[in-house]
A and B are shown apart, each in its own frame.
Chain A
Amino acid sequence: MFCFCVFFPRTEESDNSTLKEFPTFSFATLMNGDFFSDFSAWFTDTVCLRDRFVDINAKFRDYFGITPHEQVIIRDESDTDVSEDEPWTPGVSESDSSSDMSEISKAPETSDTSQPDDSSADTSSTPPNESSETSISEISQAEKPVEVVNDVLIIGTRAMEIYYGSEENAKAFAAILNKFAAKIDEDVNVYSMVVPKACAFYISESKKYSKYAGRSLRDINTLSGALSSAVTDVPIYSILESHKDEEIYYRTDHHWTGLGAYYAAEKFAQTAGVDFTPLSSYTKKVRTGYVGTMYKYTNYSATLLNNPEDFVTYAPTSSYVATFYDQKLQNGRTHDLFWYVDDDHRSSWYSTYLAGDAYSVVIKSGTCTNGRKLLIVKDSYGNALVPYFVDSFEEIYVVDARVFSLSLTSLVSEKDITDVLFAECAYSAVGAYRNNVEALTE
C-alpha cells in the first residue's frame, strides 16, 4: 500500500472536483503549518485511482441504513453552486492560442469562468440597474429578500437543484433584453427563451420543498410579461411540461437532455418562422452509464452512482461547417459539433455539445440558404439547442455570455445577424448571469 500511494502515478484530474494542488513552498507557509496541511491534502486528493475510492465510500455510506425516498443534501453556503461549476472541456489546452488544430487533447479543467456569486437567486433587494429603471426600484423596495440555499434534492433516483427565484430579477433581465432590442436595428428579431430547471416539473413530490414548485413558472411568466414589443418570447414551459414523463432532464446531471432541447428548439423554429428538421432525421447515439455532475453535488450519493442513465444525443445528418473560436472570435479551428469526452471525465459528458462553454462557435449550414443568420447568447443550457438549427439558419453564431468578450451590438451589425436568441436556464436569468449579458449589450 505504501508503494501504491507513493509511487503510483498521481491522479491528474478529477471530473467531480477540483483536486488540491501541490502547495507552493515558502518559509512562511512552512512555519505556520500551511505547507504541511496542504501537502497532506494534496497527497490524499491525488492518490491513484482516487475516483474509485470515492465510489467505494459512496457505496459504503449507502449501507448506513434505509435510504429515504426523498433526500435533502444540505450544502454549506461556501460550497460552489451547481450551475457555476463548469465541467471539463475537451480540447482546450492551457495556453490561450490553440495552435494545435488537429488533436483532441486531454486538458486541465478550465476554471477561469467562475462567477462571483451564485446564480440561483439573489439575496438583496437592491435595484439591479442603478439607472433609469424606476419601475424596478419601486418593486424592489416592496419585495422581501429571497433566500439563498444551496440545498440539493434527490427524489427517488432523480437529483435536482432547488429553484427559489426572484420576480424582480426576472424583470431586471427582461429590461436588459428590452434595452438591447431597442439599440439594434429594428429589423433584427430578438427572442427570449428561459429554460426552467428540472425542479419545475419534478419537485412537487418533495415533502420539504414542494412549496417552491410554482416559482419557475412564476418567474418565467413575469419575465415574458416584462418584455417589450421588440422582444419575442419563446414559451417552452408548457411544452416541456407536456413531455415531462420523457427523458427531458437528466437525473444525475444539472442539464436538460438532447430530447428536452429538441422540443424547445422546435418551438423556437416555429416562433422564428424557419424550417425545422424533425427528430427522425437525426442520428441517435446512446452512451450508457452516465453519472453526471449532480453526483458531486449530492455529496457522492450512492443513489445516483447505482442508477446511471443513458446519455442520448441526436446528431444532424446534413452537412455543415462548425468553426470554434476563442472569445474574441479569433484563432478558429473546425470540428464536429459533438466532441468526444473520454472515460476519465465521467461526469462531463454534456461537454460533448460544443466542447462545453470554452469556445465561441460559428456554424455555416450546408443546406440552408434562407439568408437568416442567428446569434445565440447562452449559458450551458443553450449548447444542446444548437445541433437542431443547422438546417434552419444559414449561419449561426453561438456565444456564452459569461466568457465572450466582444460587444454583441457591434457583432449584430458587423455580421448582418437577422435573429438574436437569448437562451439560458431560469437560474441564470435571475442570477448574476444578467450582469454578463448587460456588459455585452452595452
Chain B
Amino acid sequence: MQERKDSTCKGIGVALFFADILFLYCFLPLCVGIYLAVKKTRNRNFVLIIFSLLFYAFGEPLMVLLLVASAFVNFLLAKAIAANRGNGYAKAALAAALIYDIGMLGIFKYTDFVIDNINALSGLSIEHAGIALPLGISFYTFQIISYVIDVYWEKVDAQKHFSKLLLYISLFPQLVAGPIVRYSTIEEEIDNRTVSISDLSAGATRLIIGLSKKVLIANSLNLLVQECFTDKLSGATVVGTWVGVIAYSMYVYFDFSGYSDMAIGMGRMFGFHFDENFRYPFMCRSITEFWQRWHISLGSFFRDYLLYVPLFGKRRQVLSLFLVWFTTGLWHGASWNYVLWGLYFGVFLFIETKIGKKRLKNAPSVLMHFYNKLVIIVGFGIFRFENMKELGVFFKNLIAAGGNAFITTETCDTILKYLTVIAVAVIACFPVVPYIKKRVENLSSRAQGTLVLASTAYTLALMFINTAVLVATSSSNNPFLYWRF
C-alpha cells in the first residue's frame, strides 16, 4: 500500500528500512552487540562502516558503489582544498566537488523532471531515462556538500583518513532519511566517544518512540488520509477534505520526525549526539518559527550555505529568498507542486519579515496560531497533490466550490472510525513529554523511581505493539514518506 507511485519513487528497494522486523530484531542487535564487544573506537568505526555499507547494499546492491565513490571523490577534493589554501586551486577543487555532488544528485533525481519540462515546452516526446533514485542520495549529498564547504571556509579540518569520512557519509542511522548531520557536529565524536548505559537506554527509548510515531500514529493517519482522498477526491466532501489534509499534515510530521527520532536514538546508542531535527513544529506562532522547528537540519543547511552566500548581493534579498525556497521545494521532489510548496512558504516568510518581529510578537496569540495553522495545513495540501488537476479539485473542495457535498454520513463514519487516532495524534503534537519532565523534577526520588519504571513498561509495551503491527502489515508495506529523497 505505497502511498502513491510517482516517477521519483522508481526503483527504490524497500528492504531493510528502520520500520522492519529484520532490521530491528536482527540487524540492529547484531550491530550493537558487536559494536559494544569491540572496545577501541577505531575498531568500532570499522564495525559501523561495515554494517552501514551492508545496510545500504541490502536496499541497493549496486548503488553502494556510488556512495563509496562519492565519498572518495569528495575526500580527495577536500584534501586538495586544504592543501591549497590561499591559492586559486582551492576554489577550483571546491567548484569541482560541488559540480560533482550536485551533478550526481541532479542526474539521478531530476533527469526525468527536466525531460518532462523540455517536452512540455518544446512539444517533443523524449522518453524518460528511467534512472533509479539511489537511496538517501538527497541526504548524503547534502551532508557531503556541507563538509566540503566547511573545509573551504576553514570551519573544519579536512579528514585525513578516508575511512573516517566514509563513516560520516555512510552512517546508517541518518543515511536514508536524515537528519542532515553536519560534519562539524560529529567531527570530535568520530575519534572520541563513549557509550554508557544511559546512552544505550536513552538511545533505545528514543528509537522506540520514533518507531511508534511512525508505525502506530503515522501509518494509522495514512489510512485515514487515504479514506478521505479516495478516487482522486471525486467523492470527497468539504469536511472530508479538510479532515484529510489535517490528518495528512500530521502524518508527514509523525512519519518524518519518527524517522529522525530513530536516527537520533540509534546514533546515541553508538555514542553520537546528533542535533534535533524537529522541535514540536506545530507549536509555532509564526511561519518563520515553523521553519525553525521543522526539518531543522534542512532549513539550517539552506540558511548557512545558500542564503547567507551573497549570490545576488546584500540588497537582493528577495532574489535570495526566492532561490532558497525554490530549492527547498525542489529538494523535496522532482515535481512542480513541491516547488510551489516551497515558494508558497517563501511568500509568507517574506510577508512576515516585512511586518516585522515586534508587530508579530504583539499580535494576539489566537490569531497567530489560527493563521499559521491554516497556512501550514493548506501548504501540505500542495505538498500532497503532485497532479495539478487533483490539486485544483483539492482547493475547490476546501472552499466548498467543487460541487461536492459539505458533509455526508460517510464522512462522519470515517471521522468516528479514526477518532482515537486523531485524538492521540493531536495530543502528541504538543510537547507532552517535556511538560511532564518539568513537573516531575520536583517530585520525591521514590516517585521518580516509580515513574521511571512506569515509563519503561510503557516503552516496552509500545515496542510489543509495534512488533505486532509490523508483522501483520509486512506484505502491505507502508514505506516511509521521505525516503524517496
Contact = CB atoms under 8 A, between A and B. Distances in A.
B13 A31 contact: no
A212 B416 CA distance: 26
A32 B61 CA distance: 7
Contacts of B415: 65
A231 B196 CA distance: 83
21 contacts: A6-B26, A20-B474, A31-B62, A36-B16, A36-B57, A36-B58, A40-B15, A40-B58, A41-B475, A44-B474, A50-B471, A53-B468, A53-B471, A56-B468, A57-B471, A60-B216, A60-B468, A63-B420, A65-B416, A65-B422, A74-B230
Interface in A26-40: 30-33, 36-37, 39-40
B421 A64 contact: yes
Contacts of B26: 2, 5-6, 43
A68 to B, nearest CB: 4
B34 interface: no
A36 B416 contact: no
A39 to B, nearest CB: 7
Contacts of A142: none
A5 B25 contact: yes
A43 B16 contact: no
B413 interface: yes
B61 A2 contact: no
Interface string B403-424: 0000001000101111111100
Contact of B471 (A47, A61, A65): A47
A33 B16 CA distance: 11
Contacts of B216: 60
A62 to B, nearest CB: 10
Interface string A44-81: 11010010011011101101111110100010000000
A57 B20 contact: no
Interface in B325-363: none
B421 A53 contact: no
Given A33-B15, A57-B468, A65 B58 contact: no
A286 interface: no
A56 B20 CA distance: 17
A33 B59 contact: yes
Nearest to A4: B25
B61 A30 contact: yes
A66 B14 contact: no
B417 A44 contact: no
Main secondary structure of the interface of A (DSSP, over half): helix
A50 B415 CA distance: 31
B474 A41 contact: yes
A43 B58 CA distance: 14
Contacts, number: 109
B20 A40 contact: yes
Given A53-B471, A58-B472, A66 B25 contact: no
Given A41-B475, A50-B471, A53-B472, A33 B417 contact: no
B112 interface: no
Given A32-B61, A53-B467, A65-B419, A20 B475 contact: yes
Given A63-B420, A68-B417, 11 more contacts: A5-B25, A36-B59, A39-B15, A44-B20, A45-B475, A54-B468, A54-B472, A57-B472, A66-B416, A70-B413, A300-B472
A287 interface: no
A44 B60 CA distance: 19
B21 A36 contact: no
A45 B30 CA distance: 20
Nearest to B216: A60
Nearest to B463: A1
Contacts of B474: 20, 41, 44-45
A64 B61 contact: no
- Chain A CB count within 10 A is highest, among B21, B29, B415, B474, for B474
- Chain B CB count within 10 A is highest, among A4, A40, A58, A207, for A40
Nearest to A6: B26
Interface of B: 13-16, 20-23, 25-26, 29-30, 57-62, 216, 220, 230, 409, 413, 415-422, 465, 467-475
Contacts of A53: 467-468, 471-472
A17 interface: yes
A36 B61 contact: yes
A4 B30 CA distance: 14
Nearest to B412: A68
A60 B469 contact: yes
Contacts of A32: 61
B413 A2 contact: no
- Chain A CB count within 10 A is highest, among B22, B216, B415, B473, for B22
Interface string A8-35: 0000000001001000000000111100
Nearest to A32: B61
A66 B414 CA distance: 9
A423 B240 CA distance: 46
A57 B469 CA distance: 5
A4 B468 CA distance: 13
A47 B416 contact: no
A2 B33 CA distance: 11
A300 B230 CA distance: 21
Contacts of A1: 25, 29, 467
Nearest to B59: A33
B373 to A, nearest CB: 23
A54 B475 CA distance: 12
B422 to A, nearest CB: 8
B4 to A, nearest CB: 14
Given A33-B15, A40-B15, A65 B472 contact: no
Nearest to A71: B417
Contacts of A207: 409
B29 A54 contact: no
Nearest to A18: B475
A67 B421 CA distance: 13
A398 B23 CA distance: 50
B471 A64 contact: no
Given A36-B15, A65-B420, A68-B416, A43 B21 contact: yes
